[in-house]
């Protein structure tokens, strides 16, 4: 038999529309699929995202097995392990889809050089974005874009690629398989409601896409800001681990859907993900440092009790608390309430956005190195194309506007179930009789606000304006 080739799976846990896997198939060589749980390069996944990944790995292994291949799993230093696997298997080529964190770029560059020195090949592909981040350049400045709208316009003008592939039913296996460690256990989900909501893996991703088009696509542009009910695609955790590609989503829109208001808006949300990775590449320290350097001297408050109340959904602001409890229950949070919760932490409480970013990283199923950091910096006002400093979400108005019946809020803050009208989002404004009839005693059944909105807003404006 000819020398085998290695496909190095990373954030691309799928067989369809996988450029690295497709290239390995086209080589006509025996294929060794590998997943390295890299402890030396890249940011370690948070608890919820790690559960998702481990569950998805088992789905991937099953899909490979039906095609005659075995997924090899090893844990440790990614660079050292891949070198060892190449020597152990005498692989001629290693195929992978590129990652864009600064240390994973360095790792891949070193591996590619080592392969070349040893008369072997390393071939990277664009597997989880439309474009490599260095491909889209501002022709006027010769530099990269710093604002989303012109960036996305340039992407659309370049022509979004749509290269889809389907692997054959049977593939060529090597004569001898290298040793594999057991796949990590996908134990009980860290959030109690996750199993009922999610099906990690490629089949789950395609099923979620179909459900979106069937149930939520029509009216998406108008309904996407409503957190009650299923009003978005909920594809973000599947995109996080590459169980579905942006190209597959784009192709699935089709000509009829893409040329509608709903289609353009939905595609632009995929564009925001693209922009986040673009920023991560051009600002490698984005998860740790403010893109606007002046914010590095910002006088964030050290307020551990307030931070803990926010994490637990005990701020006394119902829409904020519902959002944080949705996160704890489902491993997910609606995009509108992400902005509300993040604004509350950074503006009302003046707590460093990095504290929130780390908590979301730990708890979100879809937390990835680019989206998570970019979203937090946008809300805090210190990122690229960020919200202006004076944009401070009023959690009372936000609740009344986007959850007018309180459906979402009461789902995750059931102690407020008997309140009606505007006081759902400001229970401290309700009369004592209203609270009594609803079975609520403030600071007993439901917390009193940890800060007054008017006071917090004025404080934030003063501090941000001074900066």
Options 353, 359, 361, 378, the catalytic residue:
353
* Burial of residue 159 (number of CB atoms within 10 Å: 0-12, 13-18, 19+): exposed
Options 121, 138, 223, 269, the catalytic residue:
269
Q: State the Cα–Cα distance between residues 454 and 467, nearest whole angstrom.
A: 20
What is the per-residue burial (b if ≥16 Cβ within 10 Å, else e) of 317-331?
bbbbbbbbbbbbbbb
Options 300, 362, 415, 418, the catalytic residue:
300
Options 96, 152, 198, 376, the catalytic residue:
376
Options 114, 272, 362, 418, the catalytic residue:
272
128 catalytic residue (yes or no) = no
376 catalytic residue (yes or no) = yes
353 catalytic residue (yes or no) = yes
Q: Residue 433: which residues within 8 A CB-CB, separation 6 or more?
A: none
Q: Residue 350: which residues within 8 A CB-CB, separation 6 or more?
A: 299, 300, 301, 303, 459, 460, 463
51 catalytic residue (yes or no) = no
Of 357, 316, 368, nearest to 44 by C-alpha is 368
CA distances from 282 to 152, 161, 239, 287 (A): 16, 22, 21, 12
Task: Identify whether the C-beta of residue 205 lies closer than 8 Å to the C-beta of residue 244.
Answer: yes
Options 54, 335, 362, 415, the catalytic residue:
335
Q: How far is CA 289 from the centre of its chain?
A: 19
87 catalytic residue (yes or no) = no
Q: State the Cα–Cα distance between residues 378 and 359, nearest whole angstrom.
A: 17
Q: State the Cα–Cα distance between residues 351 and 376, nearest whole angstrom.
A: 12
Q: State the Cα–Cα distance between residues 75 and 196, nearest whole angstrom.
A: 30
Q: Which two tokens stand for residue 208?
A: 């979620």
- Tell me the β-bridge partners of 74: 36
Q: State the Cα–Cα distance between residues 326 and 228, nearest whole angstrom.
A: 11
Active site residues per annotation: 269, 272, 300, 335, 353, 376
């Amino acid at each position: 038999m000819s020398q085998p080739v290695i496909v190095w799976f990373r954030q691309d846990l799928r067989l369809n529309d996988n450029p690295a896997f497709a290239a390995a198939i086209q080589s006509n060589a025996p294929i060794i699929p590998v997943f390295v749980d890299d402890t030396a390069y890249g940011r370690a996944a948070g608890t919820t995202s790690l559960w998702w990944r481990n569950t998805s790995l088992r789905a991937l292994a099953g899909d490979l097995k039906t095609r005659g291949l075995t997924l090899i799993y090893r844990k440790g230093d990614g660079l050292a392990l891949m070198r060892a696997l190449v020597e152990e298997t005498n692989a001629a080529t290693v195929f992978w889809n590129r990652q864009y964190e600064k240390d994973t770029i360095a790792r891949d560059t070193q591996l590619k050089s080592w392969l070349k020195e040893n008369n072997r090949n390393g071939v990277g592909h664009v597997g989880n974005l439309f474009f490599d981040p260095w491909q889209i350049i501002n022709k006027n400045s010769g530099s990269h874009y710093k604002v989303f709208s012109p960036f996305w316009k340039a992407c659309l003008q370049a022509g979004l690629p749509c290269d889809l592939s389907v692997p054959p039913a049977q593939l060529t296996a090597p004569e001898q398989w290298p040793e594999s460690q057991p796949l990590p256990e996908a134990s009980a989900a860290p959030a109690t409601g996750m199993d009922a909501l999610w099906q990690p893996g490629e089949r789950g991703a395609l099923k979620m896409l179909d459900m979106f088009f069937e149930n939520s696509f029509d009216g998406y542009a108008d309904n996407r800001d409503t957190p009650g009910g299923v009003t978005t695609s909920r594809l973000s955790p599947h995109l996080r681990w590459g169980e579905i590609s942006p190209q597959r989503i784009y192709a699935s829109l089709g000509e009829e859907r893409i040329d509608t208001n709903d289609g353009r808006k939905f595609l632009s949300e995929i564009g925001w993900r693209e922009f986040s990775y673009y920023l991560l590449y051009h600002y490698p320290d984005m998860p740790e440092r403010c893109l606007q350097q002046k914010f590095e001297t910002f006088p964030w408050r050290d307020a551990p009790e307030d931070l803990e109340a926010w994490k637990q959904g005990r701020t006394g602001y119902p829409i904020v608390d519902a959002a944080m409890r949705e996160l704890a229950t489902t491993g997910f949070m609606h995009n509108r309430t992400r902005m509300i919760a993040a604004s509350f932490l950074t503006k009302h409480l003046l707590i460093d956005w990095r504290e929130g970013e780390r908590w979301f990283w730990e708890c979100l199923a879809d937390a990835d190195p680019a989206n998570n950091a970019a979203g937090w910096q946008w809300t805090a006002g210190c990122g690229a194309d960020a919200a202006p400093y004076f944009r401070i979400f009023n959690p009372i108005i936000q609740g009344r506007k986007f959850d007018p019946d309180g459906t979402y809020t009461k789902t995750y803050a059931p102690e407020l179930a008997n309140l009606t009208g505007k006081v759902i989002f400001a229970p401290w404004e309700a009369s004592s009789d209203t609270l009594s009839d609803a079975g609520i005693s403030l600071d007993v059944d439901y917390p009193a606000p940890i800060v007054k909105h008017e006071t917090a807003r004025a404080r934030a404006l003063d501090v941000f304006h001074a900066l």
